A and B are shown apart, each in its own frame.
Chain A
Amino acid sequence: MALAGVSFQVSPHSIYAVIGPNGAGKTTLFNALCGFYQPSAGSVRFEGHELLGLPPYRIAAHGLARTFQNLQLFFNMTVLENVMAGCYLRARTGLIATALRLPKVRREERQLRAWAREALELCELGERAAQSAGALPYGLMKRVEIARALATQPRLLLLDEPAAGLNDTESMDLRDLIGRIRATGVTVLLVEHHMPLVMSVSDRLLVLDYGSVLAEGAPAEIQADPRVVSAYLGGAVQYAV
């Protein structure tokens, strides 16, 4: 999916949603932001840094984290280990120190464990810490991905269809979780199909269609926009939130 002329700004500490029909280029946009795709032209500026052209691991170091539309959980680890892996950037010890288990490694491990626990608690996964990530129900797996992303201590969190495959109760739990995440000072960029969730949680919305911007604005404006209604919401369908 190609993107053309898509430009938008996300203000700090806000929740910004990108919506659009399947194939509109939402995930492509995310992949371009994260460095998985290298766009032929354009610019991604984050806190004054140019991110375009950097490999994903360098972008992560700038304070960006994300979850994935197709789960990318580490099924070969426990829930706690998944989230501890998320703390990678917050620790320093290298190969030789860890192999020899030097005292500073022990201290660091304790600290990482505590940080990971914190992220798990925020996502209400505390009791699942010791379980194998692959043994969780789907909804919880998605939550572990969020916890893992939070463990990197991001300033911008990209959520790629976090509600896909969740039932209504789980989606509303998710809404609360996104709210709590914002409350910790993290900016959230969200791609989502679940309209009640999007409309209730986001401050601003970007509507994509066929790789270009259809509309941009606050939820109420978007819902009133006739172009959006006909192109995306399917004309007659209206969402009451």
Chain B
Amino acid sequence: MPEQLFQFLVTGITVGSTYALVGLGFALIYNASDVVNFAQGEFVMLGAMAAIALLGAGLPLPLAAILATLATVGVGLLLERFAIEPALGASVVTTIIITIGAAIFLRGIAMLLWGKDFHSLPPFTGDAPIQLGGATVLPQSLWVLGVTVALVVLVRLFFNRTLIGKALLACSFNRAAAQLVGINVRMMLRLAYGLSAGLGALAGILIAPITFSSYEAGVMLGLKGFSAAIVGGIGNPMGAVAGGLLLGVLESLGAGLVSSGYKDAIAFLFVLMVLFFEPTGLFGHKAAERV
């Protein structure tokens, strides 16, 4: 039984890493613009599908992955420029619908380009399982973990050590004040979309060898990423990472111990419970309204 639990834990952390990256993307965009980008999952799907397509076109895997990520970053920037910027300052619901429209649009494009079939990426370094203290770990899981840790560290460094990262952080605290001290808020918005599109794409490419990908694959991943960001307290990047990991582990435990069919229900039940007891997430700050 302990081995089995350990196995669930490994699976959970692997899947949770993807949620963490997607959640991180949500948090980045939310910080820069107060917008929850419901097309975030589509970035994940685009990254995976583009990498698969490029690999199929004969490119080596590393190059395919890089190009797919860049292409998704491009899509993120276009989305920001043509759908988000024109509606700056619109209400929450309006922007939610715009990003939902964008998600449907991107799904439509993916369906046209790659059809409705499921596709898969070969593992980066073979699929011979590694025995690790009674649990079987796929090499790809290690890739997912390693790259996620590296990305999270990089994002942290970016926020804490670079001027541009601090500028982005400043926007999240007070956009008007940031503008006053000379920060180009629009530029920051683009940066946030580019970054989170890139993070999403990488998450997609990393997980594609483990789960299959299709034009619809982004929907659930996007929702789980959103859940991660919410559980962590929206706008708190590291909270989103923690939320993602927590969600992944819980889901994996639920699937293993209760029933795999109910794993999504268990994940969302957890989210609901968190919100019922902590209405602003586990690590969110309580915003006080002034009367």
- Expressed in whole angstroms, the Cα–Cα distance for A72 and B291 within the complex equals 8
A66 and chain B: residue at smallest CB distance: B291
**Residue of B whose beta carbon sits closest to that of A70:** B290
Per-residue interface assignment for chain A, residues 15 to 37, with 1 indicating a CB less than 8 Å from any chain B CB and 0 otherwise: 00000000000010001000010
Chain A residues whose C-beta falls within 8 Å of the C-beta of B290 in the assembled complex: 69-70
A70 surroundings in chain B (CB, below 8 A): 290-291
Q: In the docked arrangement, what's the CA distance between A54 and B135, Å?
A: 57
Q: 9 pairs across A/B with beta carbons < 8 Å?
A: A27-B291, A31-B291, A36-B291, A68-B291, A69-B290, A69-B291, A70-B290, A70-B291, A72-B291
Residue ID in chain A nearest B291 by CB atoms: A68
Q: How close is B236's CB to chain A, nearest CB, in angstroms? A: 26
1/0 per residue, CB under 8 A from A, across B277-291: the answer is: 000000000000011
Instruction: Return chain A residues, CB-CB under 8 Å to B291.
Output: 27, 31, 36, 68-70, 72
**CB of A75 to closest CB in B, whole Å:** 12
Main secondary structure of the interface of A (DSSP, over half): loop
A226: min CB distance to chain B, Å: 33
CB closest residue in chain A, given B290: A70
Q: Which residue of A lies closest to B289 (CB)?
A: A70
Our count of residue pairs bridging A and B at CB distance below 8 angstroms stands at 9
Closest Cβ of chain B: how far from A182's Cβ, in Å? 24
Distance of A36 Cα from B291 Cα, bound (Å): 9
B187–chain A nearest beta-carbon distance, Å: 31
8 closest A-B pairs (Cβ-Cβ)? A68-B291, A70-B290, A31-B291, A36-B291, A70-B291, A72-B291, A69-B291, A27-B291
Q: Report the bound CA distance from A27 to B291 in whole Å.
A: 8
Tally of A interface residues using CB under 8 Å:
7
B-side contacts of A69, CB under 8 Å: 290-291
Closest to A68 in B: B291
Known: A69-B290, A70-B290. 7 other contacts (CB 8 A): A27-B291, A31-B291, A36-B291, A68-B291, A69-B291, A70-B291, A72-B291
Give the residues in chain B near A27, CB-CB below 8 Å: 291
Least CB distance from B89 to A in Å reads 15
A233 to B290, CA, bound (A): 26
**Closest beta carbon of chain A to B201's beta carbon, Å:** 40
Complex CA distance for A31 and B288, rounded to whole angstroms: 13
Contact mask for chain B residues 257-291; partner A; CB cutoff 8 A; 1 contact, 0 none:
00000000000000000000000000000000011
Residues of B within 8 A of A72 (CB): 291
- Chain A proximity of B99: nearest CB distance (Å): 24
Q: How far is the CB of B235 from the nearest CB of chain A, in Å?
A: 23
- State A70–B288 Cα separation when bound (angstroms): 14
Within 8 A of B (CB), among A26-68: 27, 31, 36, 68
Min distance, Cβ A161 to any Cβ of chain B, angstroms: 12
Distance in angstroms between the alpha carbons of A31 and B291 in the assembled complex: 8
Q: Measured between C-beta atoms, what is the minimum distance from B83 to chain A in Å? A: 26
Q: How far is the CB of A31 from chain B (nearest CB, A)?
A: 6
How far, in angstroms, from A72 to B290 measured CA to CA in the complex? 10
Residues in B whose Cβ lies below 8 Å from that of A68? 291
Q: List A residues 57-92 near B (Cβ within 8 Å).
A: 68-70, 72
Chain A's nearest CB lies how many Å from the CB of B93? 13
Task: State the Cβ distance, B198 to closest chain A Cβ, in Å.
Answer: 39
A158 to chain B minimum Cβ distance, whole angstroms, is 11
* Measured CA separation A27–B290 after assembly (Å): 10
Give the shortest distance, in Å, between B231 (CB) and chain A (any CB): 28
Chain A nearest CB: distance from B87 CB in Å?
20
Instruction: Determine the distance from Cα of A36 to Cα of B290 in the docked complex, in whole angstroms.
Output: 11
| A103-128 at interface with B (beta carbon < 8 Å) | none
Cα(A42)–Cα(B290), bound, Å: 22
Complex Cα distance A70/B291, Å?
6
Closest Cβ–Cβ distance, residue B94 to chain A (whole Å):
15
Q: Nearest-CB distance from B163 to chain A (Å)?
A: 33
| Complex Cα spacing A70 to B290, Å | 8
Q: How far is the CB of A33 from chain B (nearest CB, A)?
A: 12
Q: How far is the CB of B176 from chain A (nearest CB, A)?
A: 16
Q: How far is the CB of B186 from chain A (nearest CB, A)?
A: 27
**Which residues in B have their C-beta under 8 angstroms from that of A31?**
291
Nearest CB in chain B: distance from A138 CB, A: 18
A68 to B291, CA, bound (A): 6
- Taking CB atoms and an 8 Å cut-off, the chain B residues in 184-225 that contact chain A are none
Interface residues of B in 110-165 (CB under 8 A from A): none
Closest to A36 in B: B291
Within the complex, what minimum Cβ distance (angstroms) separates A202 from chain B? 22
